[in-house]
Amino acid sequence: MASKRQLEGKVEEINKSLDDKEEATQYITQAMTRQYEAMQEQLVDKITQLEMTVQDLQDKLEESELELERKMREKEAVISSKNEEIANMKNKMEDMAQEFGGMLKETLDKMRERIELSNSGGFDADSGVPIQRQMEEFNWSAQAEAKS
């Protein structure tokens, strides 16, 4: 009987030790499960945050590309406008050059006419140009007055 009690005491002790170990194992398993779930939740949050960052950056990239396209169109429009303005200025310069050429030709024709008139009106090559002759006469008369 005594050995039966000893055996029963040992069995109880082993059962208690087994129960303690099962409780410890269960506690550790629960703790590990909580830790795993917490880590999984953190990773899901991190993935969500990174996906939002990626989406935000893609949106910004798209906006930047649209802005670049708009700026390029504006630049092309300005260049086209300036090229058109340059062409108009060139045409205007050509018109003004032709007009000025016409004015010079007209002036030259009038000067020829006047020269021909003055040549036919008694211009003597030996006596000099009429205006020059008048100035010489004025100069002589001024010198004569100065002497007297």
Is this structure's pTM higher than 0.85?
Answer: no
The answer to whether 128 and 136 have CB atoms below 8 angstroms apart is: yes
Q: Is 127 exposed, middle or buried (0-12, 13-18, 19+ CB in 10 A)?
A: exposed
pLDDT tens digit at each of 148 positions of the chain: 778 788 888 888 899 999 999 999 999 999 999 999 999 999 999 999 999 999 999 999 999 999 999 999 999 999 999 999 999 999 999 999 999 999 999 999 889 888 888 877 654 555 555 666 666 666 666 666 666 5
In the prediction, which pLDDT does 66 show?
97
What is the pLDDT at residue 25?
A: 94
* Residue 15: HSE in the Cβ half-sphere, 13 Å Cα cutoff: 6
Q: Which stretches of the chain are DSSP H helices?
A: 2-120, 130-147
DSSP state of 148: -
Residue keyed to tokens 């050429």? 101
Q: Provide the 8-state DSSP code for 89.
A: H
Which pLDDT value is given to residue 3? 85
